[in-house]
Chain A
Amino acid sequence: MSASPAYSEEKGGSSSLGEPEYGHDPASGGIFSSDYKRHDDLKEMLDSNKDSLKLEAMKRIVAMIARGKNASDLFPAVVKNVACKNIEVKKLVYVYLVRYAEEQQDLALLSISTFQRGLKDPNQLIRASALRVLSSIRVPIIVPIMMLAIKEAASDMSPYVRKTAAHAIPKLYSLDSDQKDQLIEVIEKLLADKTTLVAGSVVMAFEEVCPERIDLIHKNYRKLCNLLIDVEEWGQVVIINMLTRYARTQFLSPNQNESLLEENPEKAFYGSDEEDSKDDKPDAASLVKRKPYVMDPDHRLLLRNTKPLLQSRNAAVVMAVAQLYFHLAPKAEVGVIAKALVRLLRSHSEVQWVVLQNVATMSIKRRGMFEPYLKSFYIRSTDPTQIKILKLEVLTNLANETNISTILREFQTYIRSMDKDFVAATIQAIGRCATNIGKVRDTCLNGLVQLLSNRDELVVAESVVVIKKLLQMQPSQHSEIIKHMAKLTDNIQVPMARASILWLIGEYCEHVPKIAPDVLRKMSKSFTGEEDIVKLQVINLAAKLYLTNSKQSKLLTQYVLNLAKYDQNYDIRDRARFIRQLIVPTEKSGALNKYAKKLFLAQKPAPILESSFKDRDHFQLGSLSHLLNAKAVGYQELPDWPDEAPDPSVRNVEVPEWTKCTSREKRKEKVEKPFYSDSEGESGPTESADSGAGPGRLCAGQQGGTAQPWQSFHGWRQVKKGKKKPPQDEGKGGSESSWEEGSVSESSSSESDSGSEAEESQSEPESKRRTTSWLSPVLNPLFPTCLCLTVTPVPPQPASSPAVVSTSLVTDLEGLTLTNASLAPTMLSPVFSTMKTYELLHRMAGEGLSVEYYFNRQPFPPDPHMVAVQIQFSNNTESEVKNLRVSEPKLVSGMRIQEFQEIESLAPGDTASVIMGIDFCDSTQAANFQLCTHSRQFYVSIQPPVGELMAPVFMSENEFKKEQSKLTGMSEITEKLTLLDKCQSDHTIVQRVTAAANVSRVPCGADNEYRFAAKTVTSGSLILITLEQKEAARAHLTVNSEKMVIGTMLVQDISQALAQ
């Protein structure tokens, strides 16, 4: 109620009795006969000033629309109510408007201003719904208005409005395709959006408007991969399908080395009787592993991030992932999808139907994948026929020498089914098994011959047809069967079967020289009563016998041809005339006569029985086109793998945004624009609370729109924390909870090492959640390997570390980092800090070499004016990295670097840690330099947070006060802030301040005041921090320092640390 008082106005007033004569059942059809007087009633009701009457009228009108009745003549009366206060009336008017606006364009324009007003509403939901309806009105004249509205909404601060904007894009495009270029611009902008809410919708718009602009995806590729798991399910489907296409154009085939190998067994398999052909398959698979194919890390990223979605409850998502794996994954990995697909077979029969079609296609190419699930394709008598036939198809595709006996046994039961279409399909399937698997050919043939004595004619007929095909492959050995079939002509009535038998006897009359003429004799007797196809075959048989055994059959042939000559069917008459001319030599007969034998008794190729699903995989699986085996409108061809990979660096731009790496790009971004100004920058604090969804929320509130470069740095780091989520959070929770989740699982890995403290921390879930969620971005580096490596050698941390929150999990992990640092010889005094790690070089950018750094807060002995930076290398490549060193520092004047000693070599999987000193000259400018290995150079940069530019100073309360009094006026910066509940306690405050800046605490008499002191490293200027707690969670933060810039930034940093 409270959220929209505007809507609840008037509602009370209209609450009186609804007019009973209008009835209560809006759906009852009777009153909606094309009697226009009724519509007059409705108009009257719409014109009344009672909301209840309007509502009643609208309900009836909507009911009319729902039943497909025309209600367009009410348009003027309805459109008047577009600004009605009652929300349900309003909604129903929208429904009506969207349905009829196209037909009544002029009148529809009346409503536009209402929506335009709505677009400016402070409530994001109203803005969104106004845009939604506005864009759904298909009136070409408002295209410019729509365009404007979409553009505006695309940079709205609420992700929900932006999502609606994405939805509106295809609507506008279908209304006026000339807007394409402008719309692509909007799409490009929205593709850069970082919220999960928008991702699915904008990719859908991309697919509808400009699927060919694959270049727009490059920069967003990694983001999309990482966001994927948190996108809503329908968006997931669209994104996965699009990424499949993308990957096909950008990466190399993971199976390329193998495609040659694959070709041969396939050929042998279908073409000849070679039986050993299938044994090649596993060999081929194992070959892959041996071949040195290096997969693009982005390719791997896609495969890795989509895999968990196989567990989705949504069949469409599972299918989308399955097709992605089928088209993109290395052969050895495709297998994982089988289980999920088999699971879908339990779903509704429509889902089964679609899945089985896809499984049928897959099982031709990758048989091994479904073999373990053979029994899941067994057929139940209750399955619908169309499902049965598809399952049969799959079973046939899966048949090989090892399982054929089981399959055949299963087929035997199917043959006795009551569903005759299904039985016929089974017999066909047996035929296919027999052609494909030489070993069982005889068994199958015998089985089919037995079926010839089946009582059901359909079964017999189908068997005859299949046997005919089988015999054609090796006729000589089976004259017995031909004889048997010849006998059947007496009983069997199905024309197709009779025709097949006659053809067989004719074709192989040499194998049954005695029987053939006799069959012809019998058939000539019944000739007149036969079906046409049988008659044709009788003529055929007669002709063949005449050519091979004219002595015995000459007269019979003449007789049959005579009968045919007077047949009612002209085809048959025609055929008879033709054959007579061809085979009976007369003086008039032409040159063809000589070739008669060749014409009739030529070697005929054996028919190939193969699946109708063969080669369907050139359509993208899971698509409509694949299902129909024909190109559907709007189908995007799945491109072939490129022969050479396009430049992978096009996707690189995104690296600094997705990792903690501080590289040149960050600096560039910082200088060019205030971080993320495009999408998130403007969002003021006003709506931040409800505008955030997922990671977006974190960025929304904190940037305040200021654009000074130094401030942007803090914002940037803030964003990083939010952004950090997707890569590690594979779970489906929201942002906060999933952080927690991530860190909890981390903690469990460290638990074993840090013993009892960890257990303590378990006992306080409440506080743990608070602290870990705050800390987790720090504790979740992208390289779990590194973390493990630092963890393992560490002895339990002594409980003595100062100023530490004892029960918190933080301790353990910080302790770990600390003690790890103690392995370095330079450690002098342990100062409490949360060693936040930053990334210097991402594993991907560094081609396997990853580098992280943190400020260890130790003095740097060679030069006290330098800040010590602990750098940690880890080698994730397969080979040794040699000669790691720093070169070509490009520094701002005054800045100096003390390089670390060259690391001669780093074995694969190893890590190494060094310390270097940097004199930042008390500024937050980044130190840029090159990191060289024996083979490559990487441009990197280290940018210090302001809190690291200082070293703690110990002083007494009096000294502090004295110094403070000297630093007033311009040198004093004060800010008021509100402390959060969780941030009230002493140790949290101290901990957070010391985490944000390298300062030490100064003892203090008053218990609502905290003091800290430090000196800048280079110039040694004092920095004094005072935090005064006031009543009701308010506080004053004061920083005194003659370095004003540092002071201001420090205030920012600390208040941010406290606000979290």
Chain B
Amino acid sequence: MIHSLFLINSSGDIFLEKHWKSVVSRSVCDYFFEAQERATEAENVPPVIPTPHHYLLNVYRHKIFFVAVIQTEVPPLFVIEFLHRVVDTFQDYFGVCSEVVIKDNVVVVYEVLEEMLDNGFPLATESNILKELIKPPTILRTVVNTITGSTNVGDQLPTGQLSVVPWRRTGVKYTNNEAYFDVIEEIDAIIDKSGSTITAEIQGVIDACVKLTGMPDLTLSFMNPRLLDDVSFHPCVRFKRWESERILSFIPPDGNFRLLSYHVSAQNLVAIPVYVKQNISFRDSSSLGRFEITVGPKQTMGKTVEGVMVTSQMPKGVLNMSLTPSQGMHTFDPVTKLLSWDVGKINPQKLPNLKGTMSLQAGTSKPDENPTINLQFKIQQLAISGLKVNRLDMYGEKYKPFKGIKYMTKAGKFQVRT
């Protein structure tokens, strides 16, 4: 399946290569570079590039291209999904996934890659198992290793791979037993000029951080499970139980993991917590345009909207903008034409507002497109869909764990057209 993997940074250096079968010359990447040049922007590089003898499948994350070389027919999503899993694993191991970190930990990276694939077919992709095989470097361990000469490789052969719950490592022990669940919902929406919603949907996830001793068996139930329109689970969740009782029952992996992601469809009415009033106008004759945006809270269920950030890609004709915000900071990059305004909290009494003029290229006619406004915001303690966890129970272990549930609503791809 997967023959080789090349890691390429944004300046086109191949800084890591790994082969699982016979060696494929790195010159194969020339086809990739060609495609990259044609695409001009990184995100437009086609994920699948056919070459005379190979196929290059790539993903672009953290400013690194992960280019997999394959030779025969294989479902492209199989490879793409695997590459993303590789990135996730690196992130899990090193905290961030960047060129510097990978270069610094090249040996660990190599060992991990070696374990993840055997002859190009995925072998161990569960982070719990990998961490048992190869311990992630921590500052403490690095120090200890340099002094004592011990290694990152687990000296105990992992048995997790063989167990019936392959996602959980065995022999977990904690002094404080805790289980935290974060319900995070993102609103994807397109709002039109007049403020009416064109499409809005909620994408939610439940991220868990479970640090429990032994083999706990958890059940999580919701007040209103019918809300969840479409769900996808971590493999640990017992599907049958969900089908019949709408209860999540699972033996959790150790540490951080995504328990489930769900979708609240467009059919349900989605509350839009903020509104944007904008007045952007260009005049044909003058080289000045007017610009004004006001952001305000709409259906926030009494919670504060914070972390508000407005970004907008201005038309090419805009040379500069002179604006004054009522609060927060704003910047305009005259090269990329990107306006961003860090608003912060919305105070309902005094709505944040950004107002001023735009100077346009003289002599040209007014741009006929209007910029779209992208919005970021956060609302703590609220799941906008109304989803509520009813209770969390643990079986199989004797101790009483500390349980915590947090809700948050964020803007996903939230756009206002003008």
Contacts and interface: CB of A to CB of B under 8 A. Distances in A.
Contacts of A16: 149
A174 B21 contact: yes
Interface stretch (A272-280, A347-355, A392-400, A649-657): A347-355
- Residues of B contacting A: mostly: mixed
Contacts of A734: 163-165, 251
Interface of B: 1, 14-19, 21-23, 26, 41, 43-44, 46-48, 50, 55, 58-61, 70-78, 80-82, 84, 103-104, 106-107, 109-111, 114, 118-119, 121-123, 125, 146-153, 155-159, 161-166, 188, 190, 192, 198-199, 201, 203, 217, 229-245, 249-251, 258, 261, 263, 266, 313, 315-316, 365, 368-370, 372, 374, 395, 413, 415, 417
A123 B165 contact: no
11 contacts: A16-B149, A18-B146, A25-B104, A88-B152, A95-B110, A311-B231, A378-B198, A413-B417, A628-B55, A731-B242, A745-B245
Contacts of B151: 55, 86-88
B204 to A, nearest CB: 11
Contacts of B119: 135-136, 167-168, 170-171
B22 A102 contact: yes
A91 B111 contact: yes
B155 A316 contact: no
A475 B16 CA distance: 61
Interface string A132-146: 100110100000000
Contacts of B43: 349, 384
Nearest to A340: B230
Contact of A15 (B76, B150, B198, B245): B150
B368 A454 contact: yes
A717 B26 CA distance: 57
B17 A66 contact: yes
A926 interface: no
Contacts of B263: 339, 343, 346
Contacts of A456: 368
Give the size category of A's interface with B.
35 or more
Contacts of A99: 19, 23
A237 B72 contact: no
A297 B261 CA distance: 33
Contact of B240 (A92, A197, A622, A742): A742
Interface stretch (A3-11, A461-469, A664-672): A3-11
Nearest to A379: B190
Contacts of B374: 381-382
Interface in A121-176: 123-126, 132, 135-136, 138, 158-160, 164, 167-168, 170-171, 174
B368 A66 contact: no
Contact of A316 (B81, B103, B156, B395): B81
A384 B230 contact: no
A319 B199 contact: no
A741 B118 contact: no
A611 to B, nearest CB: 19
B77 A18 contact: no
A313 B157 CA distance: 28
Nearest to A744: B241
A348 B148 CA distance: 42
Interface of A: 1-4, 7-8, 11, 14-18, 24-27, 51-52, 55, 59, 62-63, 65-68, 86-88, 91-92, 94-95, 99, 102, 123-126, 132, 135-136, 138, 158-160, 164, 167-168, 170-171, 174, 197, 201, 204, 229, 232-234, 237, 241, 308, 311-316, 318-320, 339-340, 342-343, 346, 348-351, 353-355, 375-376, 378, 380-382, 384-386, 410, 413, 416-418, 454-456, 622-625, 627-628, 630, 632-636, 690-694, 697, 729-738, 741-742, 745, 748, 765, 769
A894 B158 CA distance: 57
Contact of A632 (B73, B82, B107): B73
| Central interface residue in B48, B60, B234, by most chain A CB within 10 Å | B48
A68 B17 contact: yes
Contacts of A15: 147-150
Given A351-B77, A354-B80, A378-B190, A4 B368 contact: no
A997 B368 CA distance: 88
Contact of B16 (A1, A66, A386): A66
A610 B111 CA distance: 50
B153 A376 contact: no
Contacts of A375: 198-199, 201, 266
Contacts of B370: 416
| Central interface residue in A24, A94, A237, by most chain B CB within 10 Å | A237
Given A375-B198, A734-B165, A316 B75 contact: yes
